Amino acid sequence: MPDCEGQKPRATTQVRVPGILAGVAHADRSLPTDLAATWRVAEHPVHAPESEAILFRYYTEVSDRFFGHATPPDDLAAGFASQHSTGLAAPNGSFHLAWADGHDGPVAVGCAGVELAHDAPEPTAELRRVFVDPAFRGRGIATALLDAAESAARDRGALVVRLDTRHDLVEALALYARRGYVDVPAFNDDRYAQRWLALRI
């Protein structure tokens, strides 16, 4: 893979991107500049175009950070296609978006989901796909998304929320630590997982 230093701008990638994000080149990694500072969090179908758009941004960031450079568009498309978020659909799971208002309508700027885990010794939900666009970090959006996800887990009877993550996702690790998540033994063999955390809710 080429290094991001001096790399040519990537071509626009269309991945069923809705509304205001349609046609935005992923090379600049930025949302439209007319988004309002206000935002809200609401449950949303995980397979809706708006959800897939923010999930693609999530996947782009975690891929780039893992490999240390911008992921080539073809690799991004293939990797994203291999990701499965079906478990976040109701009734087994719940998916939430953070929305900011733009000139052409609301735009998803963050997401988080939970799904019930069926391999745990007590009622447990797994936290997945937690992401806030870099331009909107530091505003409490991640906290609001986790509040919504943990509440949805509680509504589904979960007593514990667990997650796996990586050492390089330091912002996420700091957030989870502030909320009281603690290290637990590995509960999966995901090749990208390096830390396993849980919180009793």
Residue 147 lies in a domain: yes
> What value does the CA radius of gyration of the chain take, rounded to a whole number of Å?
17
Q: Can you point out the beta strands (E) in the chain? A: 39-43, 93-102, 105-117, 124-132, 160-165, 182-183, 195-200
Share of the chain above pLDDT 70, in %: 82
The residue written with tokens 């603690």 in the block is 182
Residue 8 lies in a domain: no
Peptide bond into 2 cis (omega under 30): no
127-152 mean pLDDT: 95
- pLDDT band at residue 130, thresholds of 50, 70 and 90? very high
Q: Which of 123, 132, 136 is nearest to 38 (CA)?
A: 136
Residue 16 lies in a domain: no
Residue 11 lies in a domain: no
> What pLDDT score was predicted for residue 49?
94
The CATH number assigned to the domain holding 157 equals 3.40.630.30
> What pLDDT score was predicted for residue 127?
98
Residue 22 lies in a domain: no
120-147 mean pLDDT: 95
Give the integer Cα–Cα distance in Å for 66 and 68.
6
Domains in the chain, number: 1
Claim: this prediction has a pTM higher than 0.85 = no
The count of residues in the chain is 201
* 7 secondary structure, DSSP code: P
> What pLDDT score was predicted for residue 9?
30
8 has a pLDDT exceeding 50 = no
CB neighbourhood size of 81 (10 A) = 10
Assign residue 180 a region: left if phi > 0, alpha if psi is -120 to 50, beta otherwise? left
Residue 130 lies in a domain: yes
- pLDDT band at residue 35, thresholds of 50, 70 and 90? low
Task: List Cβ neighbours of 43 (8 Å cut-off, separation of 6 or more).
Answer: 94, 95, 96, 148, 152
> What pLDDT score was predicted for residue 81?
86
Residue 134 lies in a domain: yes
> What pLDDT score was predicted for residue 187?
97
Range of the domain at 118: 31-200
Residue 138, classified by CB atoms within 10 Å of its CB into exposed (0-12), middle (13-18) or buried (19+), is: exposed
Residue 26 lies in a domain: no
125-147 mean pLDDT: 95
68-75 mean pLDDT: 90
> What pLDDT score was predicted for residue 33?
58
